[in-house]
Structure 1
Amino acid sequence: MFDLGNVEPSSLVLLDRVVAELSSLTGADERSLMLIGAHCRDLLHQAFGRTDTMRSTDDVDVALAVSGPAEYHRITSALPRSGATDVRYSVADIPVDVVPFGGIEHPAGTARLPGRRESIDVFGFQEVFDRSDELTLPGGSRIALPTPAGYAVLKVKAWADRSAHFEYKDASDIATLCSWYQRDPEIGKLLYSTRLDLLQRAELDTDVAALYLLSEEIAEVLGAEREAELTAALESTDLGILAHHFAKARSSSKPNTASATSELIALTDFTQGSAAFPPDRR
């Protein structure tokens, strides 16, 4: 069962240092911070009671809700830069990507910083933030943590963007987040009780049915307008490539691409049979 109480306190020490220093050095409101990236994945993994280890990272990625470029500059000007990405800073001696969203977006889902040639894709950040959970850290600091469905929104969009440039690493994270729902005993009970409709639709395949449920929750996070935008982004992707890498992430020795395809069609059911995942591929 998903429960933030399952998260090991030791897993929060690094994040606690980052949030505390961000708040004390810059005056940033903790309530404007949301964890994203690999640390977000790892904490959600633990919250589902999973103990298998994930690939490690020493970086921390946070999203920062700001009213505009001036507020972002005011907050980040107190931090030493780290690298040349325009959003990476050293916080508590840790490389931290501080990604702006909120009032700085124009249009929605796109943030622009003065002096930076390229815009920053923050698709879904506001919607994910609005439905996030609050995570209390050991030192008393707080940060927003995306729900599993919110994290899925960010990962599916990341796949759509990066796979266009032949970067496929997000498939592994998508396989992981799908496994959260597929292996969760409470979701299994739900499918055999109040959500028998999903199990019947999946022809009694619980792995597929669990992802129909996740797809419903993704749609709830996005809302109609963002849902249409994510559907459009997926139309330029190749389901076969995603299924290949998804299956390899599950089993490098015996990848099952057919099962992966069925599961991914269920995960992206919110697209309602778009050109990316048409009904005849079900």
Structure 2
Amino acid sequence: MFDPLRIGTQSLDLIDSVVVELISGAKADETSIMVIGAHCRDLLHTAFGRTDLLRSTSDVDIAIAVDGDAEYRRIIAALPRSGTTDIRFSIAGVAVDVVPFGDIEDPAGTTSLTGRTESLDVFGFREVFAHSIELRLPSGYRVRIPVPAGYAALKLKAWCDRSVNGEYKDVGDIATACGWYQDDADIRAALYGARTDLLIRAETDVDLAALYLLGEEIADILGRVRVAELAAAWDRTDRELLAHHFARHRSRTHPDHAAANRAILAVNNFLFG
């Protein structure tokens, strides 16, 4: 069962220190902050009761809803820069990407910053934020975290964007999200109960039916317009490359090609019907 109450305070200490500095030093609004990236993945993993280790990271990724470029510049003005990306800062001694989205987007899904040549892809951030859940930190601040399907939606788009350049690290995160749904006892119970329609559509393949549910939830979060955009991006990707790395993520000694094929079939199902 997915239960955010499983997330202990110890696993929140790093994020908490970053958020405290963002709010107290940079005067960011706690209600506008959403944890994304690998730390989001790890927290969701814990909320599903999982204890298996995932790919580690020392960075923190924060999305922040802002009205425009001026508000974003006001927030980051007090933050020491880290690197040359214009969105990475040293906060509480940690390298943190602070990604602006919201009313600053123009067009939707794209953020352009003054002085930065390349725009930022923030596809789906608004929709995922709107469906996010509260994450209460040890300091008492309350920020947001994507629901599992929201996290998966952002990872699918990241795969579509980065795989064209030969990057495939997002596949492991996609496979992890698939595992959350396929291994969850409550989801399996629902497939034999209220959602037998998905089990029938999957021809009694429970693992595939669980991914149909994940796809359905992603589509509900993103909405028709964003799903169409994701479908166009997905159509340009190399599914064989995804299948290869997905299968190897499940097992390097015995790659799970069936699991990879299920994932691709499920994505095609919710994107194209």
Aligned 8 A contact 1:153 1:218 in 2: yes
> 2:246 maps to which residue?
246
Taking the aligned partners of 1:249 and 1:174, their CA distance within structure 2 comes to: 10
- Could you give the per-residue CA deviations for residues 3-43 of structure 1, whole angstroms, max 9, x where no partner exists? 00111221000011010110000111000000010000000
Task: Check if 1:106 corresponds to 2:106.
Answer: yes
The residue identity in structure 1 corresponding to 2:191 is L
Aligned 8 A contact 1:28 1:75 in 2: yes
> 1:256 maps to which residue?
256
> 1:123 maps to which residue?
123
Aligned 8 A contact 1:207 1:263 in 2: no
CA RMSD of aligned residues (A): 0.9
Task: Check if 1:265 corresponds to 2:269.
Answer: no
Taking the aligned partners of 2:64 and 2:143, their CA distance within structure 1 comes to: 10
Task: Check if 1:60 corresponds to 2:97.
Answer: no
The residue identity in structure 2 corresponding to 1:197 is D
> 1:11 maps to which residue?
11
Aligned 8 A contact 1:215 1:268 in 2: no
TM-score normalised by length of structure 2: 0.98
Shift, 1:110, TM fit = 0.3
The residue identity in structure 1 corresponding to 2:194 is T
The correspondence of residues 61-80 of structure 1 with structure 2, limited to 5 A, is 61-80=61-80
Taking the aligned partners of 1:268 and 1:41, their CA distance within structure 2 comes to: 23
- Could you give the per-residue CA deviations for residues 23-81 of structure 1, whole angstroms, max 9, x where no partner exists? 00011100000001000000000000001111221210000100110000000011000
Taking the aligned partners of 1:240 and 1:88, their CA distance within structure 2 comes to: 33
Taking the aligned partners of 1:264 and 1:137, their CA distance within structure 2 comes to: 36
Shift, 1:259, TM fit = 3.5
- Could you give the per-residue CA deviations for residues 196-218 of structure 1, whole angstroms, max 9, x where no partner exists? 11111111111100000000000
Aligned 8 A contact 1:110 1:123 in 2: yes
The correspondence of residues 104-253 of structure 1 with structure 2, limited to 5 A, is 104-253=104-253
Taking the aligned partners of 1:205 and 1:49, their CA distance within structure 2 comes to: 24
The residue identity in structure 1 corresponding to 2:117 is R
Aligned 8 A contact 1:214 1:267 in 2: no
Identity within the alignment, %: 60
Shift, 1:265, TM fit = 1.2
Task: Check if 1:32 corresponds to 2:32.
Answer: yes
Shift, 1:153, TM fit = 0.7
Report the 3-state secondary structure (helix = DSSP H, G, I; strand = E; otherwise coil) of the residue aligned with 1:26.
coil
Aligned 8 A contact 1:239 1:261 in 2: no
Taking the aligned partners of 2:72 and 2:259, their CA distance within structure 1 comes to: 44
- Could you give the per-residue CA deviations for residues 102-131 of structure 1, whole angstroms, max 9, x where no partner exists? 011000000000010000000000000000
Taking the aligned partners of 2:139 and 2:259, their CA distance within structure 1 comes to: 44
TM-score normalised by length of structure 1: 0.95
Taking the aligned partners of 2:71 and 2:142, their CA distance within structure 1 comes to: 20
Mind listing any 5+ residue stretches in structure 1 that lack a counterpart? 274-282
The residue identity in structure 2 corresponding to 1:157 is K
The residue identity in structure 1 corresponding to 2:39 is H
- Give structure 1 regions of 4+ aligned residues with deviation exceeding 4 angstroms: none
Taking the aligned partners of 2:18 and 2:208, their CA distance within structure 1 comes to: 38
Task: Check if 1:86 corresponds to 2:103.
Answer: no
Taking the aligned partners of 2:261 and 2:148, their CA distance within structure 1 comes to: 21
Report the 3-state secondary structure (helix = DSSP H, G, I; strand = E; otherwise coil) of the residue aligned with 2:34.
strand
Shift, 1:264, TM fit = 2.2
The residue identity in structure 2 corresponding to 1:104 is I
Report how many residues are paired.
273
